Structure 1
Amino acid sequence: MKTITTTAALAEFCDICAKHPYVTVDTEFLRERTYYSQLCLVQMAYPGADDSSGVLIDTLAEGIDLAPLYALFRNENVLKVFHAARQDLEIFVLNAGVMPTPFFDTQVAAMVCGFGDQVGYDTLVRKITRANIDKSSRFTDWSRRPLSDAQKSYALADVTHLRDVYEYLAAELERRKRSHWVKEELAVLTDPATYKVDPETAWQRIKTRNNNGRFLAIVRELAAFREADAQSRDVPRSRVMKDDAILELAALRPGTLEELGRARLLQREGRKPAVSEAILAAIARGMATPGKEQPKVAEAPQRKQGSGALGDLLRVLLKAKSEETDVAAKLLANAADLEALASDDDPDLPCLKGWRREVFGEDALRLKAGKIALSAGPNGVEIVAR
Structure 2
Amino acid sequence: MRTLTTTQELAEFCAAAHAGPYVTIDTEFLRERTYYAKLCLVQLALPDDGDAVLVDPLSDGLSMEPLYELFRDTSVVKVFHAARQDLEIFFVEGNVFPDPLFDTQVAAMVCGFGEQVGYETLVRKIAKAQLDKTSRFTDWSRRPLTDAQKTYALADVTHLRDIYEYLAADLEKSGRSKWVEEELEVLTDPETYIVRPSEAWKRVKTRTTSGKFMAAVQELARFREGYAQSCNVPRSRVFKDDALLELASTKPQNHQDLSRSRLLLREARKGEIADGILMALKIAAEMKPEDHPKLDRVNEKLQVNPALADLLRVLLKSKAENSGVAQKLIATSADLDLIAAGQRNVMALKGWRAEVFGDDALRLCNGELALAAKGSSVRVVEL
Residue 200 of structure 2 is matched in structure 1 by 202
Any residues of structure 2 matched to 1:38-117 within 5 Å, and which? Answer: 38-49=38-49, 53-117=51-115
Instruction: Quote the Cα distance in structure 1 between the aligned partners of 2:264 and 2:201.
Output: 17
Instruction: Quote the Cα distance in structure 1 between the aligned partners of 2:152 and 2:141.
Output: 15
Any residues of structure 2 matched to 1:244-259 within 5 Å, and which? Answer: 244-259=242-257
- Paired residues of 1:301 and 1:343 also in contact (CA < 8 A): no
Residue 23 of structure 2 is matched in structure 1 by 23
Kindly provide the CA deviation profile for residues 310-351 of structure 1, in whole angstroms up to 9, marking residues without a partner as x. Answer: 11111111111111111111111111111111112x431110
Instruction: Quote the Cα distance in structure 2 between the aligned partners of 1:272 and 1:99.
Output: 40
RMSD: 1.3
Instruction: Quote the Cα distance in structure 2 between the aligned partners of 1:323 and 1:71.
Output: 41
Instruction: Quote the Cα distance in structure 2 between the aligned partners of 1:304 and 1:194.
Output: 30
Q: Runs in 1 of length 4+ with deviation above 6 angstroms?
A: none
| Secondary structure of 2:115 counterpart | coil
Instruction: Quote the Cα distance in structure 2 between the aligned partners of 1:154 and 1:136.
Output: 8
Q: Structure 2: which amino acid aligns with 1:377?
A: K
| Secondary structure of 2:265 counterpart | coil
Instruction: Quote the Cα distance in structure 1 between the aligned partners of 2:303 and 2:243.
Output: 39
Distance 1:54 1:304, change over 3 A: same
Residue 260 in 1 paired to residue 264 in 2?
no
Q: Structure 1: which amino acid aligns with 2:9?
A: A
- Paired residues of 1:239 and 1:269 also in contact (CA < 8 A): no
Residue 32 of structure 1 is matched in structure 2 by 32
Shift of 1:11: 0.9
- Paired residues of 2:255 and 2:270 also in contact (CA < 8 A): no
Kindly provide the CA deviation profile for residues 193-218 of structure 1, in whole angstroms up to 9, marking residues without a partner as x. Answer: 21110001111111122222221111
Residue 180 in 1 paired to residue 178 in 2?
yes
- Paired residues of 2:26 and 2:157 also in contact (CA < 8 A): yes
Instruction: Quote the Cα distance in structure 2 between the aligned partners of 1:297 and 1:209.
Output: 11
Shift of 1:293: 1.7
Instruction: Quote the Cα distance in structure 2 between the aligned partners of 1:24 and 1:168.
Output: 14
- Paired residues of 2:108 and 2:114 also in contact (CA < 8 A): yes
Kindly provide the CA deviation profile for residues 213-258 of structure 1, in whole angstroms up to 9, marking residues without a partner as x. Answer: 2211111111110111011111111111111111111111111221
| Secondary structure of 2:134 counterpart | coil
Between 1:369-378 and 1:21-30, the stretch displaced more is 369-378
Any residues of structure 2 matched to 1:1-386 within 5 Å, and which? Answer: 1-49=1-49, 53-299=51-297, 300-302=299-301, 304=303, 307-344=305-342, 346-377=343-374, 380-386=377-383
Distance 1:383 1:270, change over 3 A: same
Aligned residues: 382
Shift of 1:92: 0.6
| Secondary structure of 2:133 counterpart | coil
Shift of 1:135: 0.4
Ranges in structure 2 where 5+ consecutive residues have no aligned partner: none
**TM-score using structure 2 length:** 0.97
Instruction: Quote the Cα distance in structure 1 between the aligned partners of 2:242 and 2:81.
Output: 34
Between 1:203-212 and 1:228-237, the stretch displaced more is 203-212
Instruction: Quote the Cα distance in structure 1 between the aligned partners of 2:63 and 2:338.
Output: 50
Distance 1:281 1:168, change over 3 A: same
Instruction: Quote the Cα distance in structure 2 between the aligned partners of 1:303 and 1:216.
Output: 23
Instruction: Quote the Cα distance in structure 1 between the aligned partners of 2:286 and 2:334.
Output: 35
| Secondary structure of 1:40 counterpart | strand
Shift of 1:287: 2.1
- Paired residues of 1:302 and 1:343 also in contact (CA < 8 A): no
Q: Percent identity?
A: 59
**TM-score using structure 1 length:** 0.96
Distance 1:192 1:304, change over 3 A: closer
